[in-house]
Amino acid sequence: MRATVIHASHDIRVEEVPDPVIQRPSDAVVRVVLSCICGTDLWAYRGVAAREPGQRIGHEFLGIVEEVGVDVRNCAVGDLVVAPFLWSDGVCSYCAEGLTTSCEHGGFWGSPGSDGGQGEAVRVPYADGTLVRLPSGAASDQRLLTALLTLSDVLGTGHHAAVGAGVRPGSTVGVVGDGAVGLCGVLAAKRLGADRIIALGRHQVRTDIARAFGATDVVAERGEAAVEAVLELTRGRGAPAVIEAVGTEQAMRTAVGIARDGGSIGCVGVPHGSDTGLELSEIFERNIALRGGVAPVRTYIPQLLPDILDGTIDPSPVFDLTVGLDGVPRGYKAMDERTALKVLIRY
């Protein structure tokens, strides 16, 4: 089959690789129908996150089950399924309590020896714990299928941020980050009943999506000026619920700056940078909580799926460029240069 391989910083290629086969009785092989490029893939692309030359890449996909191991019970050949960005066994104590990201047997697509999501097919370990079946009728509805793909990462990650931020009906929420995750954070906050959602962002294409997703206010300033603007919008107090969807020092500083005393920051931006930008003394004095981390999206898929199926939420607008598998390198370039928000890969 053909799949995306990362050889070095800025060197992404689509190459012939071995076809995936069932290796263990709990495996399934999924023929990919849709996948995409994630903001976190760019950390590998830019050489910030280390990868061995020749590793596969991509961790968001949905597709059709092509083959199952003898122990697989929850899906069958021909089923349309979506995969979360980590596989998990579904039975360990962490999985039992919903923290699938800490699964004892969990792993990340594209790690050495495993398939990545940006290829024609994927061997899925622990298929029963990992995959979630989708209504087969969705396969013929491209808009719906695109929306469902966000269940594999960005929608669940945005939801995790909103949960960590403590969003409740009536909440005022500040959202740092105008990438696909930040936008999904807006959508998730709206879904959880937030009254007021202040999105920080300066690119109109993105802030227009934020408004469509439920943002009531947009702040185009950055850094200190952004903090001032949010304080002005909140009678000098800041937002009790803050979503941090970037992971840089500057973003964390902004998140703390716009948080109300006693509030919570739901952090889902993977921490990057020489230091964290976190003034522990300040969050201590102001009783600001930090909650979040790698999102256990497998747990969230069954909660979020019905709202996509019945049209309550439609996260599909986070994709603004579609490529075929051959176009993946171009897709990375577009996201790296910020000419694309999030790139869909159609097979």
Residues within the interface to a second copy (CB under 8 A): 93-94, 97, 99, 101-102, 164, 237, 261-262, 264, 267, 270-271, 275-276, 278, 280-281, 283-294, 296
Query: What gap in Å lies between CA 329 and CA 111, rounded to an integer?
Result: 19
Compute the least distance from the CB of residue 96 to a second copy, in Å.
12
5 vs 288 by CB, closer to a second copy: 288
What sign for the dihedral angle of Cα 308, 36, 59, 87?
Answer: positive
288 vs 345 by CB, closer to a second copy: 288
64 vs 289 by CB, closer to a second copy: 289
Compute the least distance from the CB of residue 166 to a second copy, in Å.
10
β-strand pairing of 217-219 with 196-200: parallel
42 vs 278 by CB, closer to a second copy: 278
For residues 12-44, one letter each, b for 16 or more C-beta atoms within 10 angstroms of the residue's C-beta and e for the rest, the string is bebeebeebebeeebbbbbbbbbbbbbbbbbbb
Compute the least distance from the CB of residue 237 to a second copy, in Å.
8
Query: What gap in Å lies between CA 4 and CA 20, rounded to an integer?
Result: 14
Query: What gap in Å lies between CA 347 and CA 344, rounded to an integer?
Result: 10
Element (H, E) at 223: helix 223-233
Compute the least distance from the CB of residue 103 to a second copy, in Å.
10
Compute the least distance from the CB of residue 282 to a second copy, in Å.
9
300 vs 332 by CB, closer to a second copy: 300
Query: What gap in Å lies between CA 214 and CA 189, rounded to an integer?
Result: 8
